[in-house]
């Protein structure tokens, strides 16, 4: 069995968990460029954990300029087996109020200007993504939230928009008609790349506002969002701490095959593969490329 290492992608403050030991920040080099920041390594109980500030410490990097490939590659190189993504989101449903956490299980990708795959000319791969979230991770997150009395809704579609501007009223209404639950700017292509890297992945959408569709709330108010974000941060820390406390020491095989996604995905014949690209894929696809 493979030893479990929990990776957490999120904002500042999550990595100062009470009880987190042996904390060190370490820069991890990636052939895909610079990750958002150094990685924060630590141990909670007996569980190794790795934290990555998605926007960099101090929130320096906007959603559209995050190097998602370098971030996922760095986590893979750090030995991470399971990734929990924490992100602020707008709600597209009246029952998902600010302060509530939503365990996302589907995505609609409306981003247009981001590199979305580790693969390309010289090594083509097509991974299955019909079930984009690891159900076992969702089970553990739900149990942790219930144990901490955190307001939670399981299930819902995350609409990933390009940003950095918020939605127009027309867009917000359209996404509601599509049946989306929350809207954000960061989970794509993060989730797709995690699947290509054979990492189990789950999203926790932390609702901060009602986007722009709600008649009683009007357009998005950034000051109000920041206030809710600060309140959500404490709940996020409690969620991660409880999740880590109850996490298994050995990585559990994913029931939907997240951790074996590349077994049959690479299409390019061995003799036609680009050696330079293969070298960049050493961490992401090393299991199947040898």
Binding residues for substrate: 185, 209-211
Residue positions forming the annotated binding site for phosphate: 12, 54-55, 87-88, 186
Between strands 182-184 and 82-91, the pairing is: antiparallel
- Euclidean distance between CA atoms 245 and 92, whole angstroms: 32
93, 236, 285 from 150: Cα distances, Å: 19, 9, 37
Catalytic residue among 95, 209, 221, 274: 209
211 is catalytic: yes
- Euclidean distance between CA atoms 285 and 263, whole angstroms: 10
Query: Under a CB-based contact definition with an 8 Å cutoff, are residues 84 and 8 in contact?
Result: yes
Catalytic residue among 211, 216, 221, 274: 211
259 is catalytic: no
Residue positions forming the annotated binding site: 12, 54-55, 87-88, 185-186, 209-211
Q: So which residues are the catalytic ones?
A: 209, 211
């Amino acid at each position: 069995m493979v030893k479990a290492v929990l990776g957490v992608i999120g904002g500042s403050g999550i990595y100062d968990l009470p009880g987190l030991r042996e904390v060190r920040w370490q820069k991890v080099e990636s052939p895909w460029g610079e990750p958002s920041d150094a990685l924060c390594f630590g141990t909670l109980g007996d569980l190794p954990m790795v934290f990555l500030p998605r926007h960099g410490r101090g929130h320096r990097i906007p959603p559209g300029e995050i190097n998602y490939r370098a971030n996922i590659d760095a986590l893979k190189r750090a030995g991470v087996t399971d990734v929990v993504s924490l992100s602020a989101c707008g709600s597209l449903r009246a029952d998902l109020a600010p302060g509530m956490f939503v365990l996302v299980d589907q995505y609609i990708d409306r981003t247009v200007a981001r590199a979305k795959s580790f693969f390309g000319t010289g090594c083509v791969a097509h991974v299955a993504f019909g079930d984009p979230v690891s159900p076992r991770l969702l089970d553990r997150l739900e149990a942790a939230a219930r144990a901490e009395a955190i307001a939670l809704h399981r299930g819902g579609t995350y609409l990933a928009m390009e940003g950095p501007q918020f939605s127009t009223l027309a867009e917000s209404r359209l996404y509601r008609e599509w049946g989306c639950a929350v809207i954000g700017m960061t989970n794509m292509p993060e989730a797709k790349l995690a699947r290509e890297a054979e990492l189990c992945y789950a999203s926790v959408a932390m609702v901060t506002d009602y986007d722009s569709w709600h008649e009683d709330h009007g357009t998005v108010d950034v000051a109000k969002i920041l206030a809710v974000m600060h309140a959500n941060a404490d709940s996020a820390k409690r969620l991660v701490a409880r999740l880590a406390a109850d996490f298994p020491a050995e990585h559990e095989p994913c029931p939907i095959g997240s951790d074996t996604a590349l077994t049959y995905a690479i299409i390019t014949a061995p003799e036609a593969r680009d050696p330079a690209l293969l070298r960049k894929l050493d961490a992401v696809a090393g299991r199947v490329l040898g």
